[in-house]
A and B are shown apart, each in its own frame.
Chain A
Amino acid sequence: MSAFLTGRELSTMLLNGYRNLLRNSDLINDLNVFPVPDGDTGTNMTRTLSGGVGNAKDDAAAGSYMKAFARGTLLSARGNSGVILSQFIHGLAEGMADKEEISLADFAYAMSLGQRDAYHAVMKPTEGTILTLIRQGAAFLQENSFESFENCLKALIAHLRDVLQHTPELLPVLKEAGVVDSGGAGLVCIFEGMEAALRGEVIESDGAADSSLKETAPVTMGSFGPDSVLEYGYCTEFILQLMHAKCDIAKFSLQPMIDYYESIGDSLVAVMDCDIVKIHVHTFTPDKVIAYARQFGEFLTFKMENMSVQHSEVVEQKQGPKDKYAVVAVTCGEGIDSYFKEIGVKVTVSGGQTQNPSAEDFLAAFRKANSQHIIVLPNNSNIILTARQAADLYTDAQVHVIDTKSMAEGYSALSMMDLYADTVEELLESMTMPLEGVTTGQVTTATRDTCMNGITVKQGDHIGLADHKILSAAANAVDAAMEMLQALEEMEDKQVLTVFYGEDLTDEELEELQNRVEEAYPLLETGYLYGGQPVYSLIMAIE
């Protein structure tokens, strides 16, 4: 039983929390309100937390360990729950700053700062979400006292599970969809994993899944050529599974390995967790790093980067004068991507539905935009917070995030962008003004049965959504689209319809849609563009 936690203990607990989240991420993804494969909460939270695990260094001190962990999560944050989680962890880290070990009182205090930052992350906090669990958890720790972290976490988890069960009462959309809040469920998973670690119950790493979460920065080809000099060596990082066939795991000591790697490299970080060894080392002789490690086991993952290549990338990015304005937009689908570039977007960030980009993805795009003012179109309600987080983290430009909730809104903002604007305020106004008049229409396939808005949806049905509300369900995409348009109250005021058709819409369906729209709305000006987006057979900007 422990009343204090060191940095190493926190490291073990958080790694276990992360793995428990990873293990349950599919279940969390399924707790989606809409029967649509939208920005999945489980995946987003897992990837957010993986940034913390990846960035944190072996550190005996709790405060400095958490600081690095928090920085990692801030950068890799994606999706609304991910951003809230990263802010929560940021607050936790602040509450533990400068501590060698944290006490139960420190933990309760840190939770209160975590709550503060989590609520700060969103403009309009919604109850019945992960926020409610964070708030209730912080309050629970304020109101109760414990003698050990084991008891504390156990009670906290029981309390949070109870709060989670009640989220549908706070948030009607959950109730209607018959699910509990997915972000809240993710948070419970993390605490459960942490609590299990305290009991010595280590969740096995799924090496493949772990490594798939790591993202490598794009390499600039040609930055390291046939005549270049290997100036900085290689950054190597690996996770080694110790093998009974190769060594006596129980008696294995990390020290000789540390000594050897320090003799052939530097910036060494070495961590051991039961039968797993994690090493990070910069070296000019990676072959020796590999050969030495394989005396004791086999690699679960191995990552190596030529640091001279990374260096050239940084130098390249600093070249060229800055533009005054640049637009960075999230796109999904090759058609939408190239079209958005054609009408004024400088850098696109791939994302949208199932793959929400991280704050770090945005930061990379901001660097590439190389501009005094950067205007960001997140084009998805689950990406806005991430974009805002990245905007806060970026210091080299003024970043303005326009809250576009769909590709259609992004299109609408871009189409009305006034490039003659004298000030950034005017430019932003020209892009935000049209958002009042645009309705987003979407047609996709239901992933499960549900009944929403009085509309019964069967799995596999084509459903029509207007501004993210289900308005129709039909056997095919064109019917769903037409019924959605007919159900749209504001349709008679609309003048322009721009349709982005997805990769799965057939030529026949497109033609049928064009004919039926022409017939039903002869006065509407219409345009059809290949969007190539997955998941949504149709995205419509109805203006």
Chain B
Amino acid sequence: MKKFVIFSDSTCDLNAELRKTYDIEYVQMNYVVDDQEYPADLDWGIHSVKEFYDLMRNGKRVRTTQVPREAFETAFTKTLEAGMDAVYISCSSALSGSIGLARLVAQELSEQYPNNKIYCVDSLCSSLGQGSMVLTAAKLRAEGKSAAEVAAYVEADRLKVNQAGTVDSMEYLRRAGRIKASKAFFGNLFGIKPIIISDVIGQNFAVKKTKGAANARKEIANMMAENVIDPENQCLYITHADVPEVAEQLKAEILLQVPFKETYISAIGPIVGASVGPGTIIAFCHGKEVTIEGKE
């Protein structure tokens, strides 16, 4: 019998099988297309991966909303009612307001349920970067660690998750206001692929430029090689916005350089997808602590 509940949200990009294996629950954000709101479920029940990104390719604006208050209230109350603690590992606070709301709800409920606690951890990352922390938390729970211990561990460890990705077009990130980069990065430059990391405060930051998709993949592989620690015991995480063949290509190129123990590939969910756009690929690994803070 589990000692506490692990929650994540719609941006963790963990599929049903993994969530089941590791007993992970999640709260849903929403996305809006043509004034119609849809829950961002991790199993692509409404739009398939292709359908969703085709909407974007065809010029549809996709807006996103944070986890609604009721979702937190329902999920957290149910946990506390059952006499359990919970650890919620959220999407980066630089990308979503969900964590703030979660903390507020947890605080409000604490008076009513003084014997149990909801620990809210800001992953300072998203997609499988966030997802990898959720898996780590689940493994620690299986080892018998308490909610407090797990929350503290993940909080202390979160900056060791390294992200390196690239987008097909800067347009989506720019429109969503979800990136730090100077004007020169945004210039009308053809074939320029920015390499985007998640920085110390969890914002996406275009850390360098490459030219051409092949060079971008090469740079991502180099950054994985440079930042990983103990790859023989690590998993390489790759997410993509409806370019599975490119993700496979990136995986093969990274594995040529770095002997990861295992790899896990998934599609980027609609929330992150809406701000990075189709064609995006991102790799994550556990290794050196991120020290870069993006500046304009």
Are chains A and B native binding partners rather than an unrelated pairing?
A: yes
A419:B190 contact, CB within 8 angstroms: no
Contacts of A496 in B (CB 8 A): 190-191, 211-212
| Cross-interface CB contact of B188 among A343, A420, A437, A495, cutoff 8 Å | A343
A344:B184 contact, CB within 8 angstroms: yes
| Cross-interface CB contact of A415 among B189, B207, B214, B295, cutoff 8 Å | B189
Minimum CB–CB distance for B171 against chain A, Å: 14
A416:B187 contact, CB within 8 angstroms: no
A495:B215 contact, CB within 8 angstroms: yes
Contacts of B192 in A (CB 8 A): 415-416
Minimum CB–CB distance for A427 against chain B, Å: 12
| Cross-interface CB contact of B184 among A339, A343, A498, A526, cutoff 8 Å | A343
Contacts of B211 in A (CB 8 A): 412, 415-416, 434, 437, 495-496, 543
Assembly CA distance A417 to B185 (angstroms): 9
| Cross-interface CB contact of A417 among B184, B207, B212, cutoff 8 Å | B184
Contacts of B174 in A (CB 8 A): none
> Most chain-B CB neighbours within 10 Å: which of A339, A420, A498, A527?
A420
Residue A418 at the chain B interface, CB threshold 8 Å: yes
Residue A147 at the chain B interface, CB threshold 8 Å: no
Contacts of A412 in B (CB 8 A): 211
> Most chain-A CB neighbours within 10 Å: which of B187, B191, B208, B209?
B191
Residue B48 at the chain A interface, CB threshold 8 Å: no
Residue A259 at the chain B interface, CB threshold 8 Å: no
Which residue of chain B is the closest to A339 with respect to CB atoms? Answer: B188
Residue A504 at the chain B interface, CB threshold 8 Å: no
Residue A342 at the chain B interface, CB threshold 8 Å: yes
A418:B208 contact, CB within 8 angstroms: yes
Assembly CA distance A412 to B189 (angstroms): 10
Contacts of B107 in A (CB 8 A): none
Residues B185-222 near A (CB distance < 8 A): 185, 187-192, 207-209, 211-215
Contacts of A495 in B (CB 8 A): 191, 211-215
Residue B257 at the chain A interface, CB threshold 8 Å: no
Q: How many A residues touch the partner, as a band?
A: 20 to 34
Residues A419-438 near B (CB distance < 8 A): 419-420, 434, 437
Assembly CA distance A343 to B182 (angstroms): 11
Assembly CA distance A525 to B215 (angstroms): 13
Assembly CA distance A343 to B213 (angstroms): 21
Contacts of B184 in A (CB 8 A): 343-344, 417, 419
With A419-B182, A420-B295 known as contacts, the answer to whether A342 contacts B188 (CB < 8 A) is yes
Minimum CB–CB distance for B183 against chain A, Å: 9
- Say what secondary structure dominates the interface of chain A: mixed
Assembly CA distance A45 to B207 (angstroms): 46
B190:A498 contact, CB within 8 angstroms: yes
With A417-B184, A419-B182, A420-B295 known as contacts, the answer to whether A343 contacts B189 (CB < 8 A) is yes
Which residue of chain A is the closest to B189 with respect to CB atoms? Answer: A415
Assembly CA distance A415 to B187 (angstroms): 9
B209:A416 contact, CB within 8 angstroms: yes
Minimum CB–CB distance for B168 against chain A, Å: 10
| Cross-interface CB contact of A527 among B185, B190, B207, B215, cutoff 8 Å | B190
B212:A344 contact, CB within 8 angstroms: no
Assembly CA distance A495 to B213 (angstroms): 8
Interface 0/1 of A492-516, CB less than 8 Å to B: 0001111000000000000000000
With A434-B211, A437-B211 known as contacts, the answer to whether A498 contacts B187 (CB < 8 A) is no
| Cross-interface CB contact of B190 among A417, A434, A525, cutoff 8 Å | A525
| Cross-interface CB contact of B191 among A342, A343, A420, A525, cutoff 8 Å | A525
Minimum CB–CB distance for A326 against chain B, Å: 13
Minimum CB–CB distance for A82 against chain B, Å: 34
Contacts of A418 in B (CB 8 A): 208-209
Contacts of B189 in A (CB 8 A): 343, 415
Assembly CA distance A437 to B211 (angstroms): 10
A527:B187 contact, CB within 8 angstroms: no
Minimum CB–CB distance for B293 against chain A, Å: 11
Which residue of chain B is the closest to A434 with respect to CB atoms? Answer: B211
Which residue of chain B is the closest to A543 with respect to CB atoms? Answer: B211
> Most chain-A CB neighbours within 10 Å: which of B185, B212, B214, B215?
B212
Interface 0/1 of A316-350, CB less than 8 Å to B: 00000000000000000000000100111000000
Which residue of chain B is the closest to A417 with respect to CB atoms? Answer: B184
Residues B144-203 near A (CB distance < 8 A): 182, 184-185, 187-192
Contacts of A497 in B (CB 8 A): 190-191
Minimum CB–CB distance for A342 against chain B, Å: 6
Assembly CA distance A344 to B209 (angstroms): 15
Contacts of B215 in A (CB 8 A): 495
Contacts of B191 in A (CB 8 A): 495-498, 525, 527, 543
Which residue of chain B is the closest to A494 with respect to CB atoms? Answer: B212
Interface 0/1 of B251-276, CB less than 8 Å to A: 00000000000000000000000000
Assembly CA distance A343 to B209 (angstroms): 14
With A419-B182, A420-B295 known as contacts, the answer to whether A543 contacts B212 (CB < 8 A) is yes
Assembly CA distance A529 to B213 (angstroms): 21
Assembly CA distance A10 to B191 (angstroms): 58
Q: Could you show 20 A-B contacts with beta carbons less than 8 Å apart? A: A343-B188, A343-B189, A412-B211, A415-B189, A419-B182, A419-B185, A420-B295, A495-B191, A495-B211, A495-B212, A495-B214, A495-B215, A496-B211, A496-B212, A497-B190, A525-B190, A526-B190, A527-B191, A529-B188, A543-B211
Given contacts A415-B192, A419-B184, A498-B190, 4 further A-B contacts (CB under 8 A): A344-B187, A415-B187, A418-B208, A525-B212
What are the 5 A-B residue pairs with the smallest beta carbon separation, nearest first?
A496-B191, A527-B190, A495-B212, A525-B191, A343-B187
